[in-house]
Structure 1
Amino acid sequence: MCSLPVPREPLRRVAVTGGTHGNEMSGVYLARHWLQAPGDLQRPSFSATPVLANPAAAAACRRYMDRDLNQPSPPDDPYEVTRARELNQLLGPKASGQAFDFILDLHNTTANMGTCLIADSAHNVFAMHLCHHLQLQNPELSCRVFLYQQPGEESYAVHSVAKNGIGLELGPQPQGVLRADIFSRMRALVAAALDFIELFNQGVACPAFEVEAYRIAGTVDFPRTKDGDLAGTVHPRLQDRDFEPLQPGAPIFQMFSGEDVLYEGESTVSPVFINEAAYYEKGIAFIQAEKLTFSVPALPSLTPTPTPVP
């Protein structure tokens, strides 16, 4: 997979999007707050733009109205397709020189993901340096990096409209519920991310480093009846153990009939988004991830722009 080019100019056009999913309340209420009082988003070299990504879904306290904003848009015209076009016009156009420089997209999960930093790939040098900065600034949070994009796959995440971006995924938090601790944690992480962009804009260089990250390897559905209904659910020994090693032979499901279903993979994986409520409709009980170590090259300082001679 090719790496995204490292920015060679200051990042001036930055957006913070909340409410991409309208029942993930930390991002919804942070976006609403910042639309009224944007002071938290101002830095000496730029001011980030707050965006409530899916206002209709947020008003209805639903994940989406017709279809997920983070999924490919069909040719028909439900609400989210129209909204995706509006976001592309506001923050893009995608893959163009006019697109925003960076987007922070804010999410919650019902799974026990803790503080998860979502990037497209380890080849995205700027995003990986930002994630590393958040890890260094918040050692008590055990910030984990999840790489969601498989080789050759196009990203439909909201932050992919910009030239670069990451997602913040915090949990566990029930859908439609706002927890003060997670709200405050997300607010602090956004502040730290904007501080990193400010440091970059001021010409601070960042050395190379190694980082552990979890790269998507596949998905596992629930056991089902011949009619497609659930025949069991996540095993108690797997529940809430996101990012922990899952070895072949370990129980993953408990059937309604009482017996256990064991993991039959050939190698150890790290399950993530275990029993995520939003993924039931997608046929996903958990995502399989590989825990890998990546070497990330240095992020060079910006070359100062010459001052024009009068």
Structure 2
Amino acid sequence: MALVFLPALARMAVCGGTHGNELSGVYVVQEMERQRKEKGEGVLEISSQTICGLYIYFLNNSSLARKLCSPITDSSPYEVRRAQELNNLLGLKGSTDAIDLICDLHNTTSNMGLTLIHYTSSDWVTLHICKYLQTKITKVPVRVLVLDVPISDAYSLESVSKHGFSLEVGPQPHGVVRADIYIIMKEAVDLTIDWIHKFNSGTVFEGGDVEAFKFIKSVDYPRDPETRTLTAAIHPQLQDKDFCLLKRGDPLFLSFSGETVNYEEEETLHPFFINEAAYYEKGIAFHLGKKMMLTIPTVRVQKD
């Protein structure tokens, strides 16, 4: 692929606490604020935001555009008010005034290592950042997850910006902060900022292949058909094996009566978000994805 020139990235927002009980992002943002006050502003304008209470409307509402534009009344839920405030602060979603890049920080109870979640497989900026992190971070696997839906239909915070991704780090219990998980997240944010500074300064980033996983579908726990209560848990051989290769006959669940439920599909896929605590209410035991290679072009900043 030919050399692609892209506009400089002048404004970036690092957001933590979108889900208020995922604490690494909260403390990363606080530390960034401390460092910014100590060292002063750089060339890149970085906004660090601690935000809570967006679970319902940013992440679980298919009519996002209508919610973001609907008039605020005295009866409007807090989540709608806060979502509109953030859209006004960081967007407007889909507009030329939207902030250049959002890095939204999350924790998961699943053994995901460092996972970067994207809505598109054709955003060269964020995919180059992923490629950069994959070459620089060695403590844990760095994986790229592509949901591949139109940004206009995307329903998470980073979709408000021109470019963006969610950064998931785990395993970490909700309401807890672990030093090892915090260190990984902070390193990923620092390297993202480092990449942007280099890109804006004229560094040419060579293209190539990026390994990624494309979301295929979700799998629920076995349940009682009448009460809908769980009848099995994740099998011990699958627990903590996020992104392993599932083959026909591999164990998925262990029933509470001691029986094993196996993977019966012919297609080999990769499970992730295995036994995520926040997904019990959604009816999701894990997601399944397919590994693929994305080819990205060489990029350089477009000079005025």
Q: Is the 8 A contact 1:135 1:143 kept in 2?
A: yes
Residue ranges of structure 2 left out of the alignment (5+ in a row): none
Are 1:238 and 2:233 counterparts? Answer: no
Distance in structure 2 (CA, Å) of the matches to 1:42 and 1:271: 43
Deviates more, 1:8-17 or 1:136-145: 136-145
Deviates more, 1:87-96 or 1:26-35: 26-35
Q: What amino acid sits opposite 1:159 in the alignment?
A: E
Equivalent residue, structure 1, for 2:294: 294
Once the two structures are aligned, what percentage of the paired residues are identical? 42
Are 1:93 and 2:112 counterparts? Answer: no
Q: Is the 8 A contact 2:94 2:162 kept in 1?
A: yes
1:28/1:38 CA distance change after superposition, 3 Å? same
Runs of 4+ aligned structure 1 residues displaced above 6 Å come to 40-43
Q: Greater relative contact order (Cα 8 A, min sep 6): structure 1 or 2?
A: 2
1:44-93 deviation digits (Å, cap 9, x = unpaired) = 42131001121xx4xxxxx85xx263222567832222111111000000
Residue ranges of structure 1 left out of the alignment (5+ in a row): 1-5, 58-62, 306-310
1:202/1:39 CA distance change after superposition, 3 Å? farther
With normalisation by structure 2, the TM-score equals: 0.89
Post-superposition shift, 1:42? 6.8
Equivalent residue, structure 2, for 1:47: 45
Equivalent residue, structure 2, for 1:249: 249
With normalisation by structure 1, the TM-score equals: 0.87
1:238/1:203 CA distance change after superposition, 3 Å? same
Equivalent residue, structure 2, for 1:11: 9
Distance in structure 2 (CA, Å) of the matches to 1:176 and 1:224: 28
1:73-115 deviation digits (Å, cap 9, x = unpaired) = 5678322221111110000000001100000110000000011
The residue correspondences of 1:74-85 to structure 2 (distance < 5 A) are 77-85=76-84
Aligned with 1:69 (options 58, 70, 76) = 58
The residue correspondences of 1:151-190 to structure 2 (distance < 5 A) are 154-190=153-189
Equivalent residue, structure 2, for 1:308: none
Q: What amino acid sits opposite 2:281 in the alignment?
A: E
1:87/1:151 CA distance change after superposition, 3 Å? closer
Distance in structure 2 (CA, Å) of the matches to 1:40 and 1:135: 30
1:136/1:115 CA distance change after superposition, 3 Å? same
1:245/1:40 CA distance change after superposition, 3 Å? farther
Count, aligned residues: 290
Q: Is the 8 A contact 1:41 1:47 kept in 2?
A: no
Q: What amino acid sits opposite 2:262 in the alignment?
A: L
Post-superposition shift, 1:21? 0.4
For residue 48 of structure 1, give the secondary structure of its aligned residue in structure 2: strand
Superposition RMSD on alpha carbons, in Å?
A: 2.1
